[in-house]
Amino acid sequence: MAPSSPTSTVVAGHDQSPAPASAIQTRFDQQQTKILARAAEVFCEKGYEGASMRDLSRASGMSLSGLYHYFESKEKLLYLIQKHTFSTIMESVLARLEGVRGPEERIRTLILNHLEYFLAHQQAMKVLSHEDDVLQNALGAEVAALKRAYYRILIGLLDDLKQSRKLDFSSRLSALSLFGMMNWIYTWYQPRVDADAAQLAGHMGDLFLHGICEPPRTRKIPRRQSTGSK
């Protein structure tokens, strides 16, 4: 999910504005919403390539041609799932951040928001994470832009933290590590075994912010300048 070339300066612009940048439909009727949900399930289970339109047809209780009546292609379905998911998680985090002050708490807010959404929409989020590079050209670019915008939110929070605490670390590397940590959960999370989103967010927030142990007292040299462990 985190972008490869985060050079964009887009920070928080996401298309819920009255004049959408994208010409693509963003409002869905009941049928479409149902199809998208089923499609997310199937893509989640079988992967985008592994899922056939017939699978989707079967899963949504609709004829093959019915699917095409609502959505013009398989690729568009993936695009819409990814875009909708991304837009929602973006809206959500931006709304939450408005009420939170303090860089650390703001980072924790993003983590919590991410994990809550992830666990509440595991299937869609897996599709987002796992089918990251499937979409090509314009469609792919649009999702990539959303991803970049989301990424830059975290970068901004990290920069704020660095500034306010006079710290020195790579925002890029830290952000990507944090996203990795969080997005990876789709490979292992088991609702019956693992903690809920809030607890998970607590653990991952602690881990990300302070690590699993205190740094050794004897080391006087600033930690962040090490270039390798030996």
73 binds, among a second copy, DNA, none (CB under 5 to 8 A by kind): DNA
130 binds, among DNA, a second copy, none (CB under 5 to 8 A by kind): a second copy
Helix (H) or strand (E) holding 146: helix 137-165
Residue 173's Cα: distance from chain center in Å? 16
Window 148-167: contact mask with a second copy (x via CB under 8 A): ----------x--x---x-x
Q: What DSSP designation does 184 have?
A: G
CA-closest candidate to residue 5, choices 155, 110, 160: 155
Residue 148's Cα: distance from chain center in Å? 10
CA–CA distance from 43 to each of 4, 5, 53, 91, 138 (Å)?
23, 26, 10, 24, 21
183 binds, among a second copy, DNA, none (CB under 5 to 8 A by kind): a second copy
Among 38, 84, 108, 114, binds a second copy (CB under 8 A): 108
Q: Provide, rounded to whole angstroms, the least separation between the CB of residue 20 and a second copy.
A: 25
Q: Provide, rounded to whole angstroms, the least separation between the CB of residue 17 and a second copy.
A: 29
Among 34, 130, 156, 160, binds a second copy (CB under 8 A): 130
Among 66, 140, 156, 202, binds DNA (CB under 7 A): 66
Q: If binding is defined by CB under 7 A, does position 163 make contact with DNA? A: no
Q: If binding is defined by CB under 8 A, does position 176 make contact with a second copy? A: yes
Asked if 152 and 11 touch (Cβ cutoff 8 Å), the reply is: yes
How many CB atoms neighbour CB 205 within 10 A?
A: 20
39 in helix, strand or coil? Answer: helix
Q: If binding is defined by CB under 8 A, does position 39 make contact with a second copy? A: no
CA-closest candidate to residue 13, choices 91, 65, 66, 81: 91
227 binds, among a second copy, DNA, none (CB under 5 to 8 A by kind): a second copy
Q: What number of chain residues touch a second copy (CB under 8 A)?
A: 67
Query: Hey, which residues between 26 and 65 contact DNA (CB under 7 A)?
Result: 29, 31, 51-55, 62-65
Q: What DSSP designation does 216 have?
A: P
Q: Is the dihedral of CA 136, 41, 50, 59 positive or negative?
A: negative
Q: Give contact residues for a second copy (rule: CB under 8 A).
A: 1-5, 47, 49-50, 104-105, 108-109, 111-112, 130, 132, 134, 158, 161, 165, 167, 169-170, 173-174, 176-185, 187-190, 193-195, 198-215, 223-224, 226-230
